[in-house]
Amino acid sequence: MVDLDWKAKMVSSDIPNKSPKLSNKLQVSIPTPFRFSNISSPLSTSASASSAYDYYLRLPELRKLWETKEFPAWQNERVLKPALHALEITFRFISIVLSDPRSYSNRREWKRRLESLTTSQIELIAMLCEDENEDKTAAGTAPIVDLTSSNGVLARESSSAEVWKLHGETTVVSRTSKDSLLPRLATWQKSEDAAQKILYTIECEMRRCPYTLGLGEPNLSGKPSLDYDAVCKPNDLHALKRSPYDHCIENHENATLFTTHQILESWIQTAKQVLKRIASRIDTEIFETASSDCYLMERIWKLLAEIEDLHLLMDPDDFLHLKSQLLIKPVNETEAFCFRSKGLVEITKMSKELKHKVPFILGVEVDPKGGPRIQEAAMRLYSEKQEGNKVFLVQALQAIEGALKRFFYGYKQVLVVVMGSLEAKGNRVVAGSGSGSGSVDSLSLVFLEPTYFPSLDAAKTFLGEFWNHELGGSGLTRWKN
């Protein structure tokens, strides 16, 4: 176990004793963070711009679908339903791309990207379903259709399932949704291969889940199927497939932009529910499941970046024409386009607010005098190795921070490629650091911000210096080169 009496032991002989008070303290140089002065939070935008964004994407109607509670006993409904909506909208996106009549559309790359995006979404949906099996209060509450109990006897009319036998008398039932677009994609020559790949992905990813999705996957393990049509309501969802401006804008990129952002907003809604669950589980000291949710949230941030990358495949001329038609432009010099999404702003703030949970996790209170109480508690947690669940949790919290900042950095690069560097750099705010001053765009303010967890950061810095001092340069020589 690491001796945390670092004030007495971590002394460098090369540092002069300028003060008796400092002579027994660790000498570590921690860089001063870049400071922004006299600026407002970058996480803001005009109410009119947000309202126009919501209207274009038909978000008020989508929110009604997300927030309607159809199954009161099913705790996971509000988390899983928007994710299933995003998946179903992706099936529609595949149809849109493969139906595009433009000869210059890069259908091959679009198809690959959407297959990859679908796989990423199915992986996250499987993780959400797996959590139900581990949570005793949520287990068995999902609306499922268990056709195995009928020994494979199906209705003669409107049957949406296939039955066959494996290993003697074992009855296997594969149920297919009647309303989802995926089964239709599997019968269309242009999308048949993509649909089959998706179905096998569902089969593989849902192996550890208590049920499968019921979209026509083989279901070789004979598990019950989620009542997909009752939960997702594909017909109601696809009724919102057209933007309010379809009748007056003739631009094929309108459908791709509209659909991309409907998928994005659906996952933002799921992220919001996951963040609420993280906070609740930390407050009730369910640290193991809270850390699992944190890593899930990290992956959602990465998925949001993958969705934003779809803009790179849009035709430059058609997209910029559409941008002009939709009057997409900054309201003022400090606005970033992505902050028109109220949901994105909210989950960014919620992710940052998790930093206030650290003292509770470590079992200490914040020192009103600014002492290193939290930092020392973190050092003990890391070194004693007695509370692994807490270590996993604080590591996962920092993983969320890293994914969040990578998202906004990546979004800035997408903005430059899609709209040009002049447009991307046009959203600027004035910032000062020390005696000098500079100009930093509003997106950079997010990913250049100092760490949300300074005590955890400092604890690792001091712990690293402790081990450097303990080894006294006697480590493996290969690390010196």
> The pTM is what?
0.86
Taking CB atoms within 8 Å and a gap of at least 24, the contacts of 419-422 are: 419/320, 419/323
What b-and-e string marks burial along 441-469, b requiring 16 or more CB atoms within 10 Å of the CB?
A: bbbbbbbbbeebbebbbbbbebbebbeee
Q: Would you give per-residue pLDDT tens digits along the chain (481 residues)?
A: 444 444 434 433 333 343 333 334 455 554 454 454 444 456 666 788 899 999 999 999 999 999 999 999 999 999 999 999 999 999 999 999 999 999 999 999 999 999 999 999 999 999 999 988 777 677 778 999 865 544 444 444 444 555 545 455 555 566 789 999 999 999 999 999 999 999 999 999 999 999 999 999 999 888 999 999 999 999 999 999 999 999 999 999 999 999 999 999 999 999 999 999 999 999 999 999 999 999 999 999 999 999 999 999 999 999 999 999 998 876 665 567 888 999 999 999 999 999 999 999 999 998 888 788 999 999 999 999 899 999 999 999 999 999 999 999 999 999 999 998 877 665 453 333 443 444 566 778 888 899 999 999 999 999 888 888 877 655 544 344 4
Would you tell me the crossing angle of helices 253-283 and 342-353 to the nearest 10 degrees?
30
Measured at the CA of 344, the angle between CA 342 and CA 349, to 5 degrees, comes to: 95
Q: Cβ distance 445 to 437 under 8 Å? A: no
Dihedral sign for Cα atoms in the order 422, 424, 427, 429: negative
Of 278, 308, 309, the residue nearest 295 (C-alpha): 278
* Total length of the chain: 481
Q: Which residue has the tokens 């003697």?
A: 168
Distance in angstroms (rounded) separating the CA atoms of residues 58 and 338 = 17
Q: Is 21 exposed, middle or buried (0-12, 13-18, 19+ CB in 10 A)?
A: exposed
Q: Distance between CA atoms of 427 and 233, rounded to whole angstroms?
A: 40
Q: How large is the angle between the packed helices 373-384 and 388-419, nearest 10 degrees? A: 110
